[in-house]
Chain A
């Protein structure tokens, strides 16, 4: 049976850790916390990957909790979403070997819950004020707001971009996921994914972008598939945009809220983290045109002791394709290795 093995524990934050996010190409993990800081972590040496050190602390940029963070595609900038209603943009200065807050994006009425950087030149933020904002990244750390999307009826928990298209997904306290597309500089909601029966906290696309996994307070994970216009099954696509439908529901694996899911773009596995203190890994076991089947392959109970786990993320590239990072209410981040077989 596959299993998860603890590689390292990253201690330093003074409050709960909300997220642990991998650098897009380097062996660096960024974590953000209720202590209003972001910490960057790296292995102390190339030979010993179990000993991690905090190499930078990004502080004094926010007055309240930093709820989420996102690396720019180059890895030279970090965006931070804070309960202080602003989004911070941090840039690495290689001459000074330091990170600096170079811009603060204002506009949301209250807590910013999530921030996401597209593969291109766009940034998305969402807030308890029920809106999703799309920003264009211009030169000289200038950000222009292109659109304010207000179709969610409640607190928006998370935004995530399609891996290679300018298509955005948002998850909300209103129990839905919405898909946003652009038509000639105009952003609109092209689909509303209904099925979860409570807050949708988290979602992630697969490598192709044709599937989404979501996790909810209803204790289930759902896998949604893109149905293209003029599909063979005859499923209507009213706005001539692709639509989504559930092809798999995973229930009975978590018995409290699911706060985070991560769909590895490298090994195709899904990991989930929950308020029940456990992490789980799922592998695909079948697929038809109607549905997909997935099986649970590994789990760690009490991965952060008695504490909730707020975030889970797979390492984004081949180098450490079996690595998972998690963030917990115990104020630590952990790195795990997913081991497929005992040899």
Chain B
């Protein structure tokens, strides 16, 4: 099968996006609110469905496009498909959703959107990704779930 985007640009992870651990991170007495960096950590090492590369290497997920309101229990992840007609956009968004579904505390409401202006059917993709009934139905599809799990197999690995 021909690849949709045969030669994607590969980005080097910038040092600023890698979480720097401080002493207070290990202090159990300090309550650590969940922030954008923590969410980014969960997403950066997810594999692209087509390429043996991570969403970070393809610049699909970026720290500055993640908004976390810990008090209001809200997370917004905006992602950037590698090309504006990427037919994998919904699948990538689904992987992001499943990763957060499995990793974040249940109190969080998560919205996942294509970064404005980066996909020709962004409204359709956004609507589908945020329809929990359709997400539930998709995850009951064994084949699709396998593909998602494959993309998530690398998640959380530090290189």
Contact = CB atoms under 8 A, between A and B. Distances in A.
Interface size class of B (residues with CB under 8 A): 10 to 19
B3 interface: no
Interface in A228-255: none
Interface string B98-112: 000000001101000
A199 B106 CA distance: 24
B137 interface: yes
A60 to B, nearest CB: 17
B132 A83 contact: no
A113 B136 CA distance: 12
A258 B131 CA distance: 12
A308 B132 contact: yes
Contact of A113 (B109, B132, B133): B133
Contact of A83 (B73, B109, B140): B140
A198 B127 contact: yes
A155 B106 CA distance: 27
Contacts, number: 34
Nearest to A175: B127
B109 A155 contact: no
A173 interface: yes
A275 B140 contact: no
Contacts of A308: 132
B133 A275 contact: no
Contact of A173 (B107, B109, B131, B136): B131
B157 interface: no
A128 B134 contact: yes
A85 to B, nearest CB: 10
Given A256-B109, A306-B106, A308-B132, A65 B127 contact: no
A23 interface: no
Interface string A297-334: 00000000011100000000000000000000000000
Which of B133, B136, B137, B140: most chain A CB closer than 10 A?
B133
6 contacts: A64-B140, A65-B136, A110-B137, A173-B131, A276-B109, A306-B107
Question: A-B pairs with the 6 shortest C-beta distances?
Answer: A306-B107, A111-B137, A64-B140, A83-B137, A306-B106, A83-B140
